[in-house]
Structure 1
Amino acid sequence: MGLTVGIIGAGRIGRLHADHLRFISQVRVKSVSDVAIHHLESWARERQIEVLTADYRQILMDPDIDAVLICSPTNTHATMIKEAALAGKHIFCEKPISFTLRETEEALEAVEKAQVKFQVGFNRRFDPNFRKVRDLVQNGTIGVPHILRITSRDPKPPSMDYIKSSGGLFMDMMIHDFDMARYIMESEVVEVSAYGAVLVDPAIEEAGDIDTAVVTLKFANGALGVIDNSRQAVYGYDQRLEIFGSKGSALADNHRPTTVEVSTSEHVSKDKPLYFFLERYTQAYMNEVSEFVRAILTNQPVICSGFDGLQAQRIAEAAKKSLEAGIPVKLEAVNSAASV
C-alpha cells in the first residue's frame, strides 16, 4: 500500500518536505503547486515530480492524491485546510493553523466532519532529544515535574517583510515552545505572563513586534514554566530545554558540529551551536513526515493533532494579551470571539 502526495507551497519548507518524502518507499510525490512555479521546473524534474501547477486546487481535484502538505503562507492555511478536507485529502499543515482562533476552529470542524487525518507541523516534537526528555517525564525518572525551562534563540532576525507578515514573535517563533511545553509536561497551560522588549533592532518595533521575550506559564498540574526567546543570538541557533522534578532533572542541550571540548591552561572551549534551524532539526523534519505517513497507512492517530495546534495558538494569544495589558492572562479567558 502506498501514498500519493501533493505539496502546496514550494518555499524552503515545502521543498524540504518533498526531499524527505522521497526517502519513504511508500510515498510518491506527484504534484507541487506554488505561485512562482516556473522557477521550479529543474528542481521538480530532478525529483521526478510529475505535475507542477500555480493553482493548488488542481492538486485537491486530483483523485490520485491521498494527502496534501500545506506549506504556504499562514494567511492561506485555513481556506486550504477546509478545501482539502472537503476533497477528502489527509492534511499536514505547517504552523500556525491560522492567525485567529475562529478560523482555526472552523478549519478543525471541517477536518472533523471529513474524518481525515490532520497533523500540525510542530517539528520539535519529533526531535530525538526532546522526545527522550518527554519519555523521562512519562516514565517517572525525574519524579513529579516542578519547573520547565525552554530557551529558543535565533542566530539572526528574519527579513523585515517576514516580520510584518509573521503574526508576531509569540505566534511565529515562541508558538513552537508553547507546543513543546504542553508536549513535555503533558498538562495544559492555565495561565500566562509575558514580558517583551525590542533590544536587537528598532525596525522590529516600528513593524509592531518585539524581538526579545520571557514568558512564564502555570500548568494545570501545578508546575511552572519559563520560556525565553530572542531574534538574535550571535553565537548560533540556541535551543535548550530542561525539566526539573522531585527526583532530579533532564537537560537537552544544543547541537554542535562536534562534541570535542578543548581544555588548556588558558581556556576551555567547544564548538558553537549549529547556526541554522534546518541543520539543527534535520532529523526532526524527517521524522515528522514519516510519522504523518505512518499514521495514514496504519490508520493510527497523528502525534501532533489539530487540537495541539489550537492549544498552542491559544497560549500565543494569551501571551500577546498579557504583554499588552501587563497582567497575567488565564487561558479560559482566551476564546475565538476575543481573537478575531
Structure 2
Amino acid sequence: MTTIGIVGAGAAAAAATHVLDSAVPDAEVTVLEKSGGLCGRAATRRNDDRDLVYDYGANYLKADDDRVVELVTETLDDEGMVDATEPVYTFDESGEVSPGRDADDHKWSYRTGLTQIAKRLFGGTDATVHRRTRVETIRRDESGDHPWTLVDTDGDSWGPCDVLLVNPPAPQTAELLADAEWESPVRERLRAAAADVPYRTVWTAILHYPFALDRPYYGLVNADKEHAVGWISREECKDGHVPDGESLLVVQAGGEWSAERYDADPADNVAELAGHAADIVGDDRLLDPDWTDHQGWRYAIPEGELDREPAHGEDPVDAAAREGLYVLGDWVAGEGRLHAALANGLDAGKRVAEDV
C-alpha cells in the first residue's frame, strides 16, 4: 500500500487527491489542514441570520482550462452551480468606471459558495482530512521504506509516508522547508526558489446594504493597479447568495494599501474601503453599510513565477519530486487564479501516480 501525506487542503491538493484516488486505488491519503475550512483562498462564509453566502477570497472560477471545465461541469456533480452572467468592468486611478472586460466569460460559484469545489473533490475520495492541524516539521528518514513524517504543532506525528505533497503558499512552504529535517541540497534549492516568489497582500471588506444596487456589472477591477481598491464585486449576482432587494459588496484593497494597513484597526479599514466603494460605484449610500465583515490575506496572490531554472541549472521542483516531495498550487503554476491551482493539482496528481 502506498501512503501519501498532504500538507494543506487547498484547491490544488483537492484536485491532486481526486486524481490519486482513482489512479492509485490502494493509496492511503492523509491531508492535514491548519484552518477549519477547505479550498484555501477560495473561501466562503455564511451569515445564517441574514441568509447571506459570500466568497470573500477568490470570487469565482473562470473557464480558462478545458480539464478544469470538464472536472466541475461533468466529472463532479454540478448541482447548485451558479454563473454570475453580468460582466466585469474596469476602473482607473481616478475611480472612473469603464465597460469592457470578461463580458462573456463564465464566472462560476455555487449557491453554497466556492468551497464546494474542494468539498466535492475530497468528498468523492477515501482520503482522510484533518482540519485545524498545523504542520510544524517535515522529517525525512533515509533508512526506512517510508521516508516522510509530518509533525504538527501539538507534537503529534503523522506517517510515515512514501510520498509528500505540499500545498501552502510559497512563503509558508519556504518556512516549512527551512525548518525541515531533510538532509539534502535539494531542500535548500527548493526553499530558496519558493522564498523568491513575490506575493500580493489583500485586505478585504464585506459590506451589506438593505437595498438593491442597479448596476450593469458584476465586478469592477482596477486596471492600472494605481487605486487603493483592487476589486469590487456584487455577491447578489450569484443566485442564492443574497436575498432579493439587498446588496453585498466584496471590496478587496490593492496590494500596497493592504500591506500598509494589514494590522490597522479593522473598523477603520472597513470604513475607508466603504468610502472608496461609494466613490467608485457612485452611490453615497454605500458609506453606511448595515452589516460588515472583513478578512486579511497576508499571502493572497502570487505575482511572479517560480524560478524553475536557477543558476545551478537544476529544476528544484523536479529534483524534490525525485525524492518524493511534490509542491503544488497556483504559485507553482505561475498564475494566481483558482483554475490554475486546480489545473496544477491535476498535473501533480498525475505525476505522483506515474512516479509511485
What TM-score results when the alignment is normalised by the length of structure 2? 0.30
Q: RCO greater where, 1 or 2, for CA within 8 Å and sep 6 or more?
A: 2
